[in-house]
Amino acid sequence: MKPVKVGLLGLGTVGTGVVRIVEGHQEDLASQVGSPIVIEKILVQNKNKARNIAIDQDKLTEDPWDIIRHPDIDVIVEVMGGIGLTKEFILEALALGKHVVTANKDLMALHGPEILAKAQENRCDIMYEASVAGGIPIIRTLVEGFSSDRINKIMGIVNGTTNFILTKMSQEGASYLDVLKEAQELGYAESDPTSDVEGLDAARKMTILATIGFRANVALEDVSVQGISSVTKEDILYAKRLGYEVKLLGIAERQDDLISISVQPTMVKQSHPIASVNGVFNAVYVYGEAVGETMFYGAGAGELPTATSIVSDLVAVVKNLKLGVNGMQGSLAYKEKKLKTDDQISSKYFLLLKVADRAGVLARITQVFADFEVSLESVLQQPTPSNPEAEIIIITHDANKAAIQKVLATFESLEVVHKVKSVYRVEG
Ligand code: NAP
Ligand code: HSE
């Protein structure tokens, strides 16, 4: 049994996990694919860096071409991250007929179509299960498990850092900045947390999921993105009082051929299963026309969960190698996308307003909603210490995004509305 030789680009958190699983599960893996899987060479930036895994020093290289152009290496596993150079390495590997497994959501969200086309041109596999929701096999589920169905909605907590922050704010009543600091100290949030907290990481993952789920050529710029940095502990308190949790949700929806994709802090009804996904965990809820509701839950990051997805991809590539069917994935995104306009995107909304506390104010405010045909589900008013001012909480029935924007624009010039403190989409 000739071993299948793998070149690993990167030996950080995920790369170390890949080595552990390939070595630790060798017998099981070999029995599934019919030959041993061997990590032949590993690319690092600094060969002399201390590692928390014992590695044969001869396997390490600082020269990417040692691996990419290695004549005996059949599969490249890319876990170094980055976009520019990494794309060059992957395209070259595919051009040389090597199959590629990657965990790189940034690269796949931005350059997925080009990379997939290159793979197809060269009859190579490109697999990227670990790029979304770490250890949850959601890509394979969408591609294979739901191949017979039409998916109408994908709703996910796909960023663990922000879910950790929102969970702590909810459970401990802590402020956003205090929990962010704690997340950084625990190593969940990076020293520059922008990509996570401003929703960009989630948007990249939703680009990948929507492309696959709707079989359409979705691009990152199609995703409307709002992060969690403006979520306050007061908003979360109000949400809880009304029976909701605040979650950073990626939501991709389709009606007929029209789609919309967004990432935003969302008030989720506590009875919805996604509301109880806490801490760094991820979950993806998928609604299929035939299957109905399904939900997938698990670790969205970390050494071994992420490596599990990568090694499963590796097994799939090697099985294809044995069968001689690599590069037969076909086009995942064969449909031209048609994006919904704001007047076609519909959901419930939560609004928290600070208003003058005197006769007729509520009537003036509800009239604005009526003027734009937004129907209200519930209205709650309470006095505040700064009299004569009151806080009004409104939850609408399903309303289109354009109408809500018109309501908000009208409030700007309405003397009785002192401030629109918060606006959230509502789900569940
Ligand atoms: P990491 O810990 O920073 O490791 C990166 C590795 O790549 C290091 O071994 C580094 O070498 C090497 N490397 C980086 N740039 C290089 C270059 N230009 N030339 C040579 N070697 C280079 O990163 P990670 O957390 O494992 O993440 C890797 C990828 O997986 C990223 O795309 C990330 O988005 C994705 N991902 C990560 C997770 C997670 O839980 N961490 C989850 C899902 C997906 P040195 O060791 O010598 O510095
Ligand atoms: N920064 C990401 C998260 C890591 O917090 O979920 C996994 O992609």
> Tens digit of pLDDT per residue, the chain (428 long)?
799 999 999 999 999 999 999 999 999 999 999 999 999 999 999 999 999 999 999 999 999 999 999 999 999 999 999 999 999 999 999 999 999 999 999 999 999 999 999 999 999 999 999 999 999 999 999 999 999 999 999 999 999 999 999 999 999 999 999 999 999 998 888 888 999 999 999 999 999 999 999 999 999 999 999 999 999 999 999 999 999 999 999 999 999 999 999 999 999 999 999 999 999 999 999 999 999 999 999 999 999 999 999 999 999 999 999 999 999 877 678 889 999 999 999 999 999 999 999 999 999 999 999 999 999 999 998 877 767 899 999 999 999 999 999 999 999 999 999 999 999 999 98
Give the separation between CA 393 and CA 421, rounded to whole angstroms. 10
In this predicted structure, what is the pLDDT of residue 335? 87
Per the domain annotation, does 337 fall within a domain? Answer: no
Angle at 237 between CA 234 and CA 240, to 5 degrees: 150
Per the domain annotation, does 21 fall within a domain? Answer: yes
> In terms of domains, do 273 and 358 share one?
no
> In terms of domains, do 112 and 209 share one?
no
- Tell me the ligand closest to 55's alpha carbon: 1
pTM, 2 dp: 0.96
Per the domain annotation, does 51 fall within a domain? Answer: yes
Q: Is the CB of 303 under 6 A from ligand 2?
A: no
> In terms of domains, do 24 and 10 share one?
yes
In this predicted structure, what is the pLDDT of residue 171? 97
> In terms of domains, do 350 and 216 share one?
no
Per the domain annotation, does 8 fall within a domain? Answer: yes
Per the annotation, the verdict on 205 as an active-site residue is yes
Which entry of 41, 87, 98, 205 is annotated as an active-site residue?
205
Query: Please, what's the b/e burial string for 74-111 (b: 16 or more CB within 10 A of its CB; e: otherwise)?
Result: bbbbbbbbeeeebbebbbbbbeeebbbbbbbbbbbbbb
Q: How many domains does the chain have?
A: 3
> In terms of domains, do 346 and 406 share one?
yes
> In terms of domains, do 241 and 358 share one?
no
> In terms of domains, do 144 and 95 share one?
no
Q: Where are the alpha helices (DSSP H) in 262-360?
A: 303-323
> In terms of domains, do 170 and 41 share one?
no
> What is the domain range of residue 165?
138-299
> In terms of domains, do 85 and 23 share one?
yes
Q: Tell me the CA–centroid distance for residue 265 and ligand 2, in Å.
A: 16
> In terms of domains, do 380 and 271 share one?
no
In this predicted structure, what is the pLDDT of residue 329? 79
> In terms of domains, do 291 and 155 share one?
yes
